[in-house]
Structure 1
């Protein structure tokens, strides 16, 4: 009897082994229960093509810098009026009818590069420019926050008019210089370009790694009483116009400009202590400009001025 029971046990075990083997060979793995999680991917199957995992990045300059109170002047002439074209938030105001609103605009002169906004402007003879300047520009002009009109703010009143921006200069044209921020007055005969903040390098077609100087021009360093200014700015400030003598192209700079009660302050890197202060600022219809405005161009100038911005913010002044 013991031999029979023993034999039966062996037969049962063999049957179970055979049954398990057949089941393993014939039944597919349940896809809902992967046996090896590493073979099933990272679990980020909903990541879209082109997304590096930290969210989508806009390619529209307006969106990257939130440029809600600006228009742009471009070194091109698509409407054939022999002047540089302008693009507005309200596309019905654009010089060239086929241009979209500034809210969606980008082109070879104004585009996103590595998450920053790049301005590029050529200097070659024949590049379109504005009616009141022979120098070329790819440049923003401060506008009312709703994009309408072209009014300006008063430097003499109590409200603080602030411009902040972060810039790195990529290269200059053969002139070795360009202005990257300005204040203009568009109504008064005396006050024209209240301020120009510029790069100047001793190298023609300066590039990243070359050195240059950051300096101030405009009425606050060049205006004379004999021209109608309230003080002789030239004798007071002209020798002190350089604010950084050892700038290396490609490095980032942080700027802030404030204007209030006829007082203008300019901050460089240190946002608490101004590097220059100017009083007697009596112009009443001003606006900020930011971008690339090539300086001292001639019929033989060559190359592009290029600058990159990671921030441009103006207080809503009007």
Structure 2
């Protein structure tokens, strides 16, 4: 099955100016991008201090990220990426990430939804057969692909609030990750995943939240400092009674080669892993479908109300 190209959905940003100015909207794609500096000249909050924007970047107050999308507008055979610096975008018709939205990454109910189909023919990245609508942590100076060292004394933090809205027929997807950029021994260091009890689950259905990745599956014989599988694999489930649609508050930290994962209680980690010696890492958040195959169907959908990250590099 061949994926049909989606029409580019124009981004319309509402500016509220002083009485001496005027506002205008332009529906032409080539005019959608805004000044690469501040995109919030007007007030984007209501009387209660809540955002009224329909731009995901503004709603989540994102800073140092790019997004990988389940589409291929530039026809290079891999998923498109959208950057803060629009000159780096894979598809030149995309605006800066500061004003980007589409059917895979959009605002609803004042939160941001990530949606990703699990069909086999959906474009994905060059090193994975699984599809994604997912943020990737980037350097604060927007200077390309870099990673932070898990061994140093600074605390590298990702915290977020999420609810799982829907799973595909595969029943599972990762909604937060840590990767090693250079991938010498370490690769997908951590994946925080949903596994629903039935395929194509929706809100109200049941499932489990669990951990996978090198800190759970790595073997000493493969070059890891310890045999993680023997130590941790049986303890990979962190919430056995999850109901889709319930909000989760999660925090992940790495400092001095120690990885900690917090669920609901931000003062007491639910899991701690040592010997995390990888040196070129980055966080990811969104929807990364697992086990996409010829027969899989449906979308993984996750809704985020917060995504916060420390200044890691």
TM-score range, shorter chain: 0.7 to 0.9
Aligned match for 1:126, one of 121, 124, 138: 121
Instruction: Give the 5 Å matches for 1:17-166.
Output: 54=48, 57-166=52-161
3-state SS of the aligned residue for 1:163? strand
Q: Does residue 247 of the first structure (1) align with residue 248 of the second (2)? A: no
**Match of residue 281, structure 1, among 246, 255, 276:** 276
Could you list the per-position Cα deviations for residues 66-112 of structure 1 after superposition, in whole angstroms to 9, with x for gaps in the alignment? 11100000000000001000000000000000100000000000000
Q: RMSD value over aligned CA atoms?
A: 1.2
Return the match for 2:213 from 204, 214, 218: 218
Q: 8 Å contact 1:71–1:86 — kept in the other structure? A: yes
- Which residue does the alignment assign to 2:28? none
CA contact (8 A) 2:263 2:270 kept: yes
**2:37 paired residue number:** none
Larger of the two Rg values belongs to structure: 1
- Pick aligned residue for 2:170 from 147, 169, 175: 175
Q: 1:302-313 alignment to 2 at 5 Å?
A: 302-313=297-308
In structure 2, C-alpha distance between the alignment counterparts of 1:147 and 1:177, rounded to whole Å:
32
Q: How many residues end up aligned between the 2 structures?
A: 268
Q: CA deviation at 1:54?
A: 4.9
User: Is 1:236 the counterpart of 2:231 in the alignment?
Assistant: yes
Q: Does 1:202 align with 2:212?
A: no
The structure carrying a bigger helix percent of its residues is 1
Are the equivalent residues in 1 in contact too, given 2:46–2:52 (CA < 8 A)? no
Partner Cα separation in structure 2 for residue 188 and residue 135 of structure 1 = 18
The 8 Å contact of residues 252 and 262 in structure 2, kept in 1 or not, is answered as yes
| Partner Cα separation in structure 2 for residue 221 and residue 183 of structure 1 | 13
Distance 1:121 1:183 in 2: 19
The Cα shift of 1:53 comes to 6.1
Question: In the aligned structure 2, how far is the partner of 1:68 from the partner of 1:288?
Answer: 13
Secondary structure, aligned partner of 1:290: strand
Q: Would the aligned equivalents of 2:189 and 2:213 in 1 still touch at CA under 8 Å?
A: yes
Contact residue 60 and residue 306 of structure 2 kept, 8 A: yes
Unaligned 5+ runs, structure 1: 1-50
**What's the TM-score once normalised by structure 2's chain length?**
0.84
1:296 equivalent in structure 2: 291
| Matched residue, 1:28 | none
